[in-house]
C-alpha cells in the first residue's frame, strides 16, 4: 500500500498488480464515515473477493475533529445535537443541506479527477462510494456534479438534500447502485434509507438493496454483496 495526495486529500492506494494501486485495472474509491480515522476502510481491500487487477483508493476526509483525537470528517457536525439525536433515535435528514457538504464534494471531485488522470482510469472502470457520511458525499458527488462512474456504493448512508439529489438522478438512469443498511441502525434511519432506495428506483437507477439484521456496521453479507457488485459492475467492464 502507498499514500499519495490527490486534489489536496491524502489517499491510501492498494490492490492492483503490485498491491499498491499499480496496473491498469478498475478503481474502487471508498470514503470513510464521520469520526473515523482516515485509514478506517483500508482493510477492506484485503477481504473483498474481487480479481487481483482491481485497485482501491481510500481518501482521508479533510477535517480533523478536535474533540476526537485521530478522527476526521467530510463536514463537521454539531456533536451536542448529534448526541441528542442518538438519545431520541435515528431521524430523517432528507430535507437538510449540511453546511460544508458542497465544499467536501468539490474536494472529492478534484481528488477523483487527479486520481483518474494519474492512474489512467476510464469512467466505466470507476466505482465511487463510502460508509455513512462518506457515502453521503459520494452520493452528492455523483448526483450533483459531472462525475461519471460505473457504480455507486452506499453503505449505511442516509439521504440529505434529497430534492437536489432526485433532480440529479434524472441524468443517471441505469446507474448500478449498491445500497446496504442495518435494520437496527441507531445512528441513521433505516426508514430513510428505504426512502432513498425508493427514490433511486423511481429514477430508474439499478439498485441492489441489502438490508441486514444489525446496526451501523459492515457485516459479512455486506462484504459479500460489495464483492459481487464490484465484480459485476466494474471488472466485467474491464474484462
Determine the average pLDDT of the residues in 105-127: 96
Closest to 146 (Cα-Cα) out of 179, 108, 180: 108
DSSP labels, 40-109: TTTTHHHHS---TT-EEEEEPPSEE-TTSTT-EESS---HHHHHHHHHH-----TT---TTHHHHHHHHH
Nearest to 11 by CA among 131, 132, 107: 107
By three-state DSSP, how is residue 32 classified?
coil
pLDDT (mean) for 52-80: 92
Q: In whole angstroms, what is the distance from residue 203 CA to residue 143 CA?
A: 12
Model pLDDT for residues 169-226, shown as the tens digit of each residue:
999 999 999 999 999 999 999 999 999 999 999 999 999 999 999 999 999 999 999 9
pTM of the model: 0.95
Amino acid at each position: 500500500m502507498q499514500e499519495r495526495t490527490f486534489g489536496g486529500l491524502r489517499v491510501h492506494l492498494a490492490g492492483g498488480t503490485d498491491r499498491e494501486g499499480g496496473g491498469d485495472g478498475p478503481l474502487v474509491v471508498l470514503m470513510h464515515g464521520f469520526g473515523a480515522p482516515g485509514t478506517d476502510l483500508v482493510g477492506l481491500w484485503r477481504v473483498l473477493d474481487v480479481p487481483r487487477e482491481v485497485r482501491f483508493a481510500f481518501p482521508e476526509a479533510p477535517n480533523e475533529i478536535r474533540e476526537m483525537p485521530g478522527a476526521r470528517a467530510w463536514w463537521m457536525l454539531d456533536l451536542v445535537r448529534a448526541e441528542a439525536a442518538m438519545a431520541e433515535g435515528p431521524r430523517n435528514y432528507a430535507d437538510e443541506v449540511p453546511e460544508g457538504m458542497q465544499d467536501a464534494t468539490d474536494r472529492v471531485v478534484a481528488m477523483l479527477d487527479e486520481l483518474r488522470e494519474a492512474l489512467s482510469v476510464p469512467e466505466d472502470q470507476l466505482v465511487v462510494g463510502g460508509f455513512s457520511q462518506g457515502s453521503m458525499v459520494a452520493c452528492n458527488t455523483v448526483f450533483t456534479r459531472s462525475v461519471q462512474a460505473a457504480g455507486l456504493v452506499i453503505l449505511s448512508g442516509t439521504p440529505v438534500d434529497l430534492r437536489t439529489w432526485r433532480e440529479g438522478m434524472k441524468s443517471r438512469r441505469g446507474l448500478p447502485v449498491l445500497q446496504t443498511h442495518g435494520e437496527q441502525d441507531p445512528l441513521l434511519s433505516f426508514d430513510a434509507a428505504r426512502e432513498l432506495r425508493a427514490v433511486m428506483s423511481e429514477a430508474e437507477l439499478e439498485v441492489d438493496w441489502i438490508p441486514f439484521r444489525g446496526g451501523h456496521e459492515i457485516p459479512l453479507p455486506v462484504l459479500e454483496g460489495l464483492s459481487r457488485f464490484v465484480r459485476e459492475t466494474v471488472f466485467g467492464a474491464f474484462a
